[in-house]
Amino acid sequence: MYSYPRLQKIPKYSFFLFGPRGVGKSSWLHQHFKEAVFFNLLKSDTYLEFSRNPGLLEAKIGDLPPQSWVCIDEVQRVPDLLNEVHHLIESKQYRFALSGSSARKLKKGGANLLGGRAITYEMESFVSAELKQDFDLESALQWGLMPLVLLRPEILKQTLSTYVHTYLKEEIRAEGLVRKVEPFVRFLAIAAQLNGQEINATNLAREAQVPRSTVETYLSILEDTLITHLLPAYRPQAKVREQATPKLYWFDAGIARAAAGLLHDPTESLWLGRSLETLLYHELRVYNHTHDKHRPIYYYKASGKEEIDFVIETKNRSTSSPPEIVCIEVKHAKTWQRKWEKLMRSLANSPKLSVKRMIGVYRGQERYHFQGLDVLPVKDFLTELYLGKIF
């Protein structure tokens, strides 16, 4: 079991805990709910028993006092169990911890999501604030922050490769999410190579040799199984944000590298740059969730090729005031170039929004302040993020 404390709060009431396979959900539940009754639906006998008769749950739990905890791991494998969970919350006042690596079967099957009786939490790979002095930026960019990778560094390539195969076997084939696995395997490798880039579904379809509609289905599977996240584009000039091409980010840079088939190749500068963006998007998402900020995160693209990697809307537009945003530009370089500030400063001059802070993040060691813009080394930025100084 890992020794790093996670940022997740320990709930007082029933909750869902969603996150990709292997990020430590089960370990966290066993660590914080030692007295709970546990059911792991990855175990074939438990899965088969509840698949045949979800009503056995009450009998399997036994006679417990009200407010007792019951944990069900990988609950999405038997969605009908949630009807029994709902019943036991109401009739017995039990509290349930329900973990899952996918919400797809729950959503598509119209599963009982407990009508607000369970809060939803998320867990992902480790973040810098959890690892503290053990956080290694170079390793994170190369191999990611999955618990098994960090705790077994001597076999990290095998671990990452096995993860991708396990995902295909247990999440995709076993759950029947696609009719044929082979086209999905081709798509997966291409989608991994596009980590940190805008999605072009037509090009993806051509390279994966599948219809565009199939690509859209595959993308939704990756998102529903929490392997990827879509970062939408920010459109400040419109009263209602227009539909724009989102960027595709994998939840972990190491998993993206493994799925792309690049574990045994030297990492190129362009890949490391996107890995740095992936890492910072991961940290922003985890901070946003665990610190109850719940602010929308975007990227911004001008009419040309210029972009701002992350735009965080810290205050919504109102009838009397424009939205407030924080702009973050990320560079893998060790020397900051002032030309990278141009688009952020252009946005700051727009009357249609209020730029509260402009931040450059880079691989160098020095901090700078240039006329309202802060340039921070990666580790300084991450420290300020978890101190609540970024947003």
Q: Whole-angstrom Cα distance, residue 193 to residue 262?
A: 9
**344-348: average pLDDT:** 94
How many of the other CB atoms lie within 10 Å of CB of 339?
8
Residue 291 exposure: Cα atoms within 13 Å on the Cβ side = 16
- CATH code of 128-272, in short, is 1.10.10
Residues contacting residue 88 through CB under 8 Å, at least 6 positions apart: 57, 58, 61, 70, 94, 96
pLDDT score, position 244: 75
List the chain domain ranges.
15-122, 128-272, 279-386
Scanning the structure block, which residue is given the tokens 């349930």? 96
- For the four alpha carbons of 191, 196, 201 and 204, in that order, the dihedral sign comes to negative
User: Has residue 3 got a pLDDT over 80?
Assistant: no
- For residues 87-99, one letter each, b for 16 or more C-beta atoms within 10 angstroms of the residue's C-beta and e for the rest, the string is ebbeebebbbbbb
Higher pLDDT pick, 174 / 90: 90
Say yes or no: domain 15-122 is CATH 3.40.50.2300: no
In this structure, of 108-122, 196-210, 286-300, the range with the lowest mean pLDDT score is 108-122
Q: Would the pTM of this model clear 0.85, i.e. be above it? A: yes
Which strand ranges, in their side-by-side order, compose the sheet holding 354-362?
Answer: 297-301, 307-315, 324-330, 354-362, 373-377, 368-370
Confidence of residue 280 (pLDDT cuts 50, 70, 90): very high
> What DSSP character marks residue 134?
G
Residues contacting residue 122 through CB under 8 Å, at least 6 positions apart: 17, 18, 19, 289
Higher pLDDT pick, 39 / 108: 39
The counts of H helices and E strands in the chain are 16, 14
Strands 307-315 and 228-231 come out as unpaired
**63-68: average pLDDT:** 96
Q: Which two tokens stand for residue 357?
A: 């802070």
Name the strand (E) or helix (H) holding 84: helix 81-92
Confidence of residue 108 (pLDDT cuts 50, 70, 90): low
**372-380: average pLDDT:** 98
Q: Whole-angstrom Cα distance, residue 249 to residue 276?
A: 11
pLDDT digits (tens, 9 = 90+) for 287-337: 999 999 999 999 999 877 789 999 999 999 888 899 999 999 999 999 999
End-to-end CA distance of the chain: 33
